[in-house]
């Protein structure tokens, strides 16, 4: 079907779909069943999501508008139209966020003796302690800037906390400015945990903004303070490193990173007490318009409240502690390679521990029989044990090859640092293919056994990141199946060398075969349905945006294929449209853990083909990234994935949101007072050390 043959009304705009997802995140903070401190966390997560939304998506829209771009996506909306809709929805969401914070979460915290003391309510002891704190910790490092011809408006860093101060009077040099800017150093905490004897409770906090407001006059001796207003600007943070611009990607990227903090402004946040004159002045300085202004009732940087739940020792106000279990397959032997030789091992994070992945690389680094280790990295932690093991392996003389994706958004600097450490240790470090982000999650170990070389691989839907492995749901597969290992080896050869794309036996790969093979698999189900046979597609992913895939799904639906899509974030497809998508159902799961698994299921005339992938169904994943999609060959592993990764999530009526034909979402009600949560079921199963029986 041609692009023009489909009505644009059959597609959801990407930006609006992302805001719809963030509304579902915000709903977790609004939900009375969410533990109180977790509700505060979700408010912070929502803020962080919105920051990135403006830094990337809104920034892109503004550039398109500036260049007078008339190109539309499948939804048919022009950039100006999208921006107008986005602005209305974003303002409404932010208003709901602060209403939830001020009217619900903070009062409930107060009932639990968790206080955020406002400066108008400090008692004498608190005022004295805070005054001492200001002079001891803040005053020495603050640099107030009075605006005059010698002191122009300062370069305000992206998302930094700042204060605009209205002044009256002349300073020591006789200067009369009227306006000064105070930038809060990023090293300073935004929330201060007061000592218990000062707070009068175990958990009393004061905002940095309150301390500065109370003592800002100390920075401007002899002048009258007419007003002090916190503000924050969000800037375009998308890096633009083009092929023809450099000969060394790492050096070019370092240059770009220095400019990220000072990109074009896209949003201005100010406290709602900011005077109209100061608001207009700030908008003018950042070349922003009224629709770019977000006046909020409270802190302009809620993300920094994320520390508070960690500081408060109140398990009763948090999710119950959960310890992931070790896979039963690995309990029989300390040697991970012998365990993999016995059978494929499926890891379901965070319900099962990430430690086996760490152990896989650690043992490979220490094993004298291991000759080579190859691994891709897209995102990893600053204290990555995996990276350290690779460094040690290289230092021991093993052949270590690491493909580090330098263009992983917001992780570029960390990846550059790790790349340097690996190179210094003697590892072979490459940066993938220019123009194609290396997003696949692969690790390959080559080991000498009985005078022959044996390969072992780990493939994953998620990143090699120890921290997020406790927060994101992902599947990982450890196998020594030769056909899979050979394909993985060929992918590494593509990433590090030159040559034509080799034929892979089992893996589907972007940018070569993944897109067309998915469309072919969907079309095959359509043909089976037309012949009167059972046809079914189930897919779980983070985002569904590719128009060609959506058209294929619409065609399959019209042929009678039953299609269930579990899409955490933005879904551009609309289900339930008469004559178009009547047989398609779309749901989104938003709960304690971030859903991150990508699973593709095709009934295929009873064969039940199951694939795990690093790729979402988006144009970028199909054509601008290097991704892999691995078939599950082991029957027991396949049953586990179907049960745990798909059936549980289709049964969920606790954290599930159903997409309606008009692209809005409604939270699914419990049926007959029977609730089922996929995440809770998996925690119950694996938290007790019980392994799912695939035969049941």
Is the domain of 513 the same as that of 499? no
CA angle 451, 457, 460 (to 5 degrees): 175
Residue 149 lies in a domain: yes
Rounded distance, CA 53 to CA 411, Å?
16
pLDDT in tens, 347-396: 999 999 999 999 999 999 999 999 999 999 988 888 899 999 999 999 99
Is the domain of 602 the same as that of 456? no
Stated length of the chain? 696
Contacts of 551 (CB under 8 A, 6+ apart): 1, 6
Q: What is the DSSP string of 440-463?
A: -EEEEEEEEETTEEEEEEEEESS-
Residue 693 lies in a domain: no
Rounded distance, CA 87 to CA 681, Å?
39
Domain-ending residue, one of 282, 317, 352: 317
Is the domain of 523 the same as that of 565? yes
CATH code: domain of residue 651: 3.30.870.10
Q: For residue 244, name the pLDDT band (cuts at 50, 70, 90).
A: very low
Residue 665 lies in a domain: yes
Q: Which domain holds residue 579?
A: 509-687
- pLDDT (0 to 100) of residue 411: 63
Residue 322 lies in a domain: no
**Active-site residue flag, 439:** yes
Rounded distance, CA 19 to CA 8, Å?
19
Contacts of 479 (CB under 8 A, 6+ apart): 340, 344, 345, 456, 457, 459, 485, 634
Domain-ending residue, one of 503, 529, 557: 503
Per DSSP, 501 falls in state P
How would you list the strands of the sheet with 203-207, edge to edge?
114-116, 203-207, 191-193
Residue 156 · residue 147 · CB < 8 Å? no
Is the domain of 573 the same as that of 682? yes
From the candidates 213, 215, 349, 439, which is the catalytic residue? 439
Is the domain of 306 the same as that of 335? no
Is the domain of 243 the same as that of 302? yes
Contacts of 528 (CB under 8 A, 6+ apart): 534, 535, 561, 603, 604, 605
Is the domain of 359 the same as that of 495? yes
Question: Could you tell me the pTM of the whole model?
Answer: 0.93
Residue 692 lies in a domain: no
Say how many domains are in the chain.
3
Per DSSP, 10 falls in state G
Mapped onto helix, strand or coil, the DSSP state of residue 72 is coil
pLDDT in tens, 411-453: 677 778 888 899 999 999 998 787 889 999 999 999 999 999 9
Q: For residue 170, name the pLDDT band (cuts at 50, 70, 90).
A: low
- Report helix angle 385-395 to 355-366, nearest 10: 10
Q: Which residue has the higher pLDDT, 419 or 171?
A: 419
Q: For residue 199, name the pLDDT band (cuts at 50, 70, 90).
A: very high
Q: Highest mean pLDDT: which of 16-25, 231-240, 426-435, 672-681?
A: 16-25
């Amino acid at each position: 079907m041609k692009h023009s043959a489909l009505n644009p009304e059959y597609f959801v705009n990407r930006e609006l779909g992302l805001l719809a997802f963030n509304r579902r995140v915000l709903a977790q903070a609004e939900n009375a069943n969410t533990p109180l401190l977790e509700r505060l966390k979700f408010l912070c997560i929502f803020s962080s999501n919105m920051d990135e939304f403006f830094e990337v998506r809104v920034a892109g829209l503004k550039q398109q508008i500036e260049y007078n771009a008339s190109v539309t996506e499948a939804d048919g909306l022009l950039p100006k139209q999208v921006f107008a809709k986005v602005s209305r929805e974003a303002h409404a969401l932010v208003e709901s966020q602060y209403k939830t914070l001020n009217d619900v979460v903070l009062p409930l915290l107060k009932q639990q003796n968790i206080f955020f003391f406002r400066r108008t309510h400090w008692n004498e002891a608190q005022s004295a302690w805070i005054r001492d704190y200001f002079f001891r910790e803040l005053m020495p490092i603050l640099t107030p800037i009075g605006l005059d011809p010698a002191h122009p408006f300062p370069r305000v860093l992206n998302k930094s906390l700042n204060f605009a101060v209205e002044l009256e009077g002349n300073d020591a040099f006789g200067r009369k400015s009227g306006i000064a800017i105070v930038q809060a150093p990023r090293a300073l905490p935004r929330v201060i945990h007061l000592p218990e004897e000062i707070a009068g409770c175990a958990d009393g906090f004061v905002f940095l903004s309150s301390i500065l407001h109370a003592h800002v006059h100390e920075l401007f001796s002899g002048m009258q303070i007419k007003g002090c207003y916190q503000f924050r600007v969000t800037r375009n943070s998308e890096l633009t490193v083009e092929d023809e611009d450099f000969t060394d990607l790492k050096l070019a990227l370092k240059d770009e990173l220095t400019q990220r903090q000072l990109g074009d402004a896209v949003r201005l946040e100010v406290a709602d007490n900011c005077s109209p004159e100061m608001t207009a002045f700030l908008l003018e300085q950042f070349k922003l318009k009224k629709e770019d202004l977000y006046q909020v009732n409270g802190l302009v940087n809620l993300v920094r409240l994320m520390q508070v739940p960690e500081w408060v020792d109140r398990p009763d106000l948090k999710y119950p502690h959960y310890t992931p279990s070790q896979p039963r397959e690995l309990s029989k032997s300390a040697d991970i390679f012998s365990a993999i030789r016995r059978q494929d091992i499926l890891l379901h994070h965070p319900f099962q521990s990430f430690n086996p992945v760490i152990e896989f690389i650690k043992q490979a680094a220490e094993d004298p029989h291991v000759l080579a280790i190859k691994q891709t990295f897209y995102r990893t932690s600053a204290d990555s044990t995996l990276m350290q093991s690779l460094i040690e392996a290289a230092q021991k003389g093993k052949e270590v090859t690491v493909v580090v994706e330098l263009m992983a958004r917001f992780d570029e600097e960390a990846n550059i640092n790790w790349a340097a450490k690996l190179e210094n240790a003697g590892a072979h470090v490459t940066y993938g293919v220019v123009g194609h982000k290396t997003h696949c999650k692969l690790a390959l170990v080559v080991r000498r056994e009985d005078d022959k070389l044996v390969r072992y691989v780990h493939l994953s839907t998620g990143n090699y990141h120890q921290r997020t492995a406790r927060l994101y749901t992902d599947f990982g597969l450890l196998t020594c199946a030769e056909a899979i290992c050979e394909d993985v080896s060929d992918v590494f050869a593509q990433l590090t060398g030159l040559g034509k794309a080799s034929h892979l036996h089992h893996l589907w790969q972007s940018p070569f075969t993944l897109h067309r093979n998915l469309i072919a698999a969907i079309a095959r189900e359509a043909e089976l349905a037309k012949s009167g046979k059972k046809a079914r597609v189930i897919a779980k992913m983070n985002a569904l945006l590719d128009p060609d895939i959506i058209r294929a799904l619409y065609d399959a639906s019209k042929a009678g294929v039953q299609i269930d899509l579990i899409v955490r974030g933005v879904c551009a497809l609309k289900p339930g449209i008469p004559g178009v998508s009547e047989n398609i159902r779309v749901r989104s799961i938003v709960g304690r853990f971030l859903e991150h698994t990508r699973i593709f299921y095709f009934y295929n005339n009873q064969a039940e083909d199951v694939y795990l992938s690093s790729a979402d169904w988006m144009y970028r994943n199909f054509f601008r990234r290097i991704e892999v999609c691995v078939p599950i060959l082991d029957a027991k592993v396949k049953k586990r994935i179907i049960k745990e990764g798909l059936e549980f999530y289709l049964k969920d009526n606790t954290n599930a949101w159903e997409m309606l034909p008009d692209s809005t979402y409604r939270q699914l009600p419990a049926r007959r007072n029977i609730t089922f949560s996929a995440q809770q079921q998996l925690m119950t199963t694996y938290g007790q050390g019980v392994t799912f029986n695939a035969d049941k």
